[in-house]
Chains A and B, each alone.
Chain A
């Protein structure tokens, strides 16, 4: 049975606890690289952040070198000249006054053989960038706070904390990608990042929602550790997460490849790179960062401790995920074989029937009662 087939049929049983360890390790590396690159390389800030002037003209036949040669006589030889997409040429530099702007504009228009008015000019005051950064950071902080409160009300604060940690992780890594690859940061990029935060949280919410739903099944939540509950829930929403990410990514990739790559629309490019990076980071972090963070916090609860003790997994919760490989008993989900190994075939059947009932009959207290005496009776009554 292929992995995809299992996934499609909802039979996937991946031990996420194992992957969390990998995920945390990968994320740590990524975070270090991102922060290091930010500290030493910094960001390639667009003129909106530095102040300056940008001229854009449609000039499919003019090379960057030709443009530079043409601009040199008027002292703009050092300007930053780029080709955007297939047709557009962009020059960025400083221009003190409007006359100077017009001069460059004239040169570019001549070069491209178009009227002057076909050269687009954007000029940005130096203070604009500072304002922009301030407002972006302010938006970010307010957003995180608002989302934390919202999730704390709709779910619970521990989950909200996990979601926020994941989002911060996404932001740092996304910004890191920009730093490492030297992509230009523009206002559009900032908008895209802010959007991504929403996406990342969206994904996380779906996972957590499932956890809460499962928590409401005492037959399950009383019998497994929170860690495993999380892992199960993630298995349940995995296909959804994948599909969501694909459905979200497809239009973004279309923007990147078709819009920006082939047609050369700059804004599309700025948006789509950031969106693509953020979407991937968001999908990853909701499964590998948000979840383990919540597990770490939740396993400290007395109730969870009790469950662990009852299950014989007395070690501190925090290490449960980490030690799963060494001690299968702590994280039973890691051993799919136990599923077949432990119960007798008949038991397996009854288990699933019971579970079916659990879903059907709503609260279904203690669908199967091997452990707690009163429950079998209740079950019997129902039957």
Chain B
């Protein structure tokens, strides 16, 4: 007799073997979650109700920040309105936690000078003697001395300043087409000559004046570029202790910490620091050796050196970007809070970015205060360019071509493509309404505790599994062995899926997930129990093994589908309604239930059928824990049926007056 589903049996067994083989051959292993290998998890909740674009920018910034401390692939996900950051196996956990939750601030800073990209003195191959003294002591200084006391620039309106220096030159040219209304700020593109080491200036073709068709609009020609992210190269050490006002960098040394005169007068301190930095920078022979300010030291009231990335890299992941040039920037004059909104638009066939400032003292006035200086090219803004920075990198540093602007008629033009213009606008928007992230949960797991947990989970799993195996075999004999075989097939598939997804889809196996798997052992074997009990019952009720095998499966499978259906349903809901580790648990539980359905249908059914149709089962049913057909007649159902009949008969006879024996006789005779 042909057994149904033999093909399925072969296919699923082959599938399991092949999957396991491929995964092993490729060397894939499940990727352990940070609770099993140590690491940091931070759950962040955005305050307010930021849009998807906003959140995406926040995640991008976060990703770049974590990259900047040397972690290649942080696992950052958006789950259920939250951002979950997981960094496994990281050493400097504190730095990571700190970086992750901080809000990125958009700042407007005057460009003081241009610098070439950073060159690590050790790799340059230059003789030690040629090194700029002081390079190894890069530093930024905060004017106010104690970092913590830096006045909030947002409150101050204008960036009060402290100065710290590390600088880089850049270039830009501007052109403007002042609108008839005299508001035009035209920032032509920076066409200014790159100074010495400045490797590339995008400026060149940008310098074209942008004639304004729209009389009302002011144009800010811009040197397009930018990308958030700190260039982690150098680590300027902040020297918080330095006395304000004293800018005593060793001669020729790279700007060392400088600070402003009196903590009360941060603005004056800033001016002085800016002046110092500008002078010092000018005297540094090899500006490429001046380190870039790290993200940590990128404080509002310091003079900083920030990178400007190549235009064409704007949309690339941070690690693939190249620093085109760097700029020495003054203190922050205005933050993103002064912005109302920004968008990108096509003007005269060119893509431009149009920021809109808030009215009055909170926005446009402050912007005009600094832009007027830039327009005039005063020492506070010698390059006539104003840089907009976000999170340790320059987004764009357009030249200011008009002395005064109207809040909603500003245009930044440059060699933007549609994509880059939109990108810049997105970042400005983000700056206008930064996503403030609240750390809801911070979990640090040490590597040793993680290993212990993994060990405990594996041991517990092994012990639990052996107990279950013993029980199943004791109770169902050979059928129990078949159940274990099915479990093995499921396990092979599960392992292959976890390993493959770990490698390719970022799935991590957490302790919660491991628990889910251990629990699913029970779920899986339950299908066998349901089937076997069905089988036994049918055999007791008089079926032969052959007919019982298929019949019982049909009945049992309906139950299995319903029951596994509930498990899957629960797992799916749990997955979508929860955050973090709960998801891992739900995922593995749901996956196990689906695998169980497959294995029950394609593996258990034909396998059991084959076994029961074998001669062995016919001769020794005890080996399979099965009753012999017709061996037992006294089953529950039979008893109740008899009783039911008896009851019915007696009730009927009571009513009709017939004798109950009559009824019985009739039936017996029939």
Contacts and interface: CB of A to CB of B under 8 A. Distances in A.
A355 B446 contact: no
A118 B451 CA distance: 11
B43 interface: yes
A343 B646 contact: yes
Contacts of A237: 533
Contacts of B477: none
Interface in B457-473: 457, 459-461, 463-465, 467-468, 471-472
Nearest to A250: B467
Contacts of A127: 45, 438, 440
Interface in A151-180: 151, 154-155
A122 B632 contact: no
A354 interface: yes
Contact of B641 (A48, A219, A379): A219
B450 to A, nearest CB: 8
B667 A347 contact: yes
Contact of B651 (A197, A312, A356): A312
B582 A209 contact: no
B441 A224 contact: no
A260 B455 CA distance: 11
B518 interface: yes
Interface in B571-615: 571, 573-574, 577-579, 581-582, 585-586, 589
A68 interface: no
B670 A376 contact: yes
Interface in B52-94: 80, 91, 93-94
B529 A191 contact: no
Contact of B638 (A58, A342, A352): A352
A111 interface: no
Contacts of A370: 645, 648-649, 652, 663-664, 666-667
A139 B639 contact: no
Contacts of B445: 120
B566 A202 contact: yes
A350 B573 contact: no
A219 to B, nearest CB: 7
B392 to A, nearest CB: 21
A310 to B, nearest CB: 6
Nearest to A98: B94
Nearest to B575: A139
A139 B574 contact: yes
Contacts of B97: 98
Interface in B631-670: 632-652, 654-655, 660-661, 663-664, 666-668, 670
B454 to A, nearest CB: 9
Interface stretch (B137-145, B383-391, B555-563): B555-563
Given A223-B644, A244-B522, A251-B467, A360 B589 contact: no
Contacts of B96: none
A117 B519 CA distance: 32
Nearest to B537: A10
A125 interface: yes
A342 B639 CA distance: 11
B449 interface: yes
Interface in A318-366: 329, 332-333, 336, 338-339, 342-344, 346-356, 358-360
A56 B449 contact: yes
Nearest to A200: B566
A279 B91 CA distance: 40
A134 to B, nearest CB: 10
A128 B43 contact: yes
Contacts of A87: 452
A292 interface: no
Interface string A208-232: 0110011000011011100010001
A135 interface: yes
Contacts of A358: 641
A271 B651 CA distance: 54
Interface in B407-464: 438-449, 452-453, 455-457, 459-461, 463-464
Interface residues of A, number: 124
Contact of A344 (B511, B589, B664): B664
A160 to B, nearest CB: 11
B627 interface: yes
B624 to A, nearest CB: 14
Residue in A114, A259, A266, A271 whose Cβ sees the most chain B Cβ within 10 Å: A259
Contact of B519 (A124, A190, A275): A275
Interface SS of chain B: helix
A240 interface: yes
B442 A143 contact: no
A191 B652 contact: no
Interface SS of chain A: helix
B576 to A, nearest CB: 9
B511 A265 contact: yes
Interface stretch (B189-197, B252-260, B354-362, B539-547): B539-547
B538 interface: yes
A268 B440 contact: no
B523 A150 contact: no
A125 B98 contact: no
A264 B452 contact: yes
B637 A120 contact: no
A217 B43 CA distance: 56
Residue in A228, A248, A265 whose Cβ sees the most chain B Cβ within 10 Å: A265
B522 A265 contact: no
Contact of B471 (A98, A125, A246): A246
A3 to B, nearest CB: 13
Nearest to A338: B643
B35 interface: yes
Contact of B645 (A57, A275, A368): A368
Interface string B21-63: 0000000000000010000000101000000000000000000
Given A127-B45, A191-B582, A252-B464, A209 B642 contact: no
B518 A251 contact: yes
A73 interface: no
B100 to A, nearest CB: 13
A139 B578 contact: yes
Interface string B169-198: 000000000000000000000000000000
A122 B529 contact: no
A371 interface: yes
A58 B448 contact: yes
A312 B654 contact: yes
A58 B91 CA distance: 18
B441 A332 contact: no
26 contacts: A10-B540, A87-B452, A102-B94, A125-B441, A150-B566, A191-B582, A195-B516, A206-B559, A209-B559, A223-B647, A237-B533, A248-B519, A250-B471, A252-B519, A310-B648, A311-B647, A332-B647, A343-B646, A343-B664, A367-B641, A368-B667, A370-B648, A371-B648, A371-B652, A371-B663, A383-B670
Given A232-B640, A354-B641, 6 more contacts: A124-B440, A244-B529, A268-B457, A347-B668, A368-B645, A371-B648
Q: Can you list the 10 inter-chain pairs with the closest CB atoms, starting with the nearest?
A: A251-B464, A259-B460, A254-B464, A342-B646, A248-B522, A265-B456, A356-B542, A263-B456, A370-B663, A223-B644
Interface of B: 35, 43, 45, 80, 91, 93-94, 97-98, 438-449, 452-453, 455-457, 459-461, 463-465, 467-468, 471-472, 475, 511-512, 515-516, 518-519, 521-523, 525-526, 529-530, 533, 536-538, 540-543, 547, 555, 558-559, 562-563, 565-567, 569-571, 573-574, 577-579, 581-582, 585-586, 589, 627, 632-652, 654-655, 660-661, 663-664, 666-668, 670
Interface of A: 9-13, 48, 56-58, 87-88, 98, 102, 114, 117-125, 127-128, 131, 135, 138-139, 142-143, 146-147, 150-151, 154-155, 187-188, 190-191, 194-195, 197-198, 201-202, 205-206, 209-210, 213-214, 219-220, 222-224, 228, 232, 235-237, 239-240, 243-244, 246-255, 258-260, 263-268, 271-272, 275, 310-312, 329, 332-333, 336, 338-339, 342-344, 346-356, 358-360, 367-371, 376, 379-380, 383
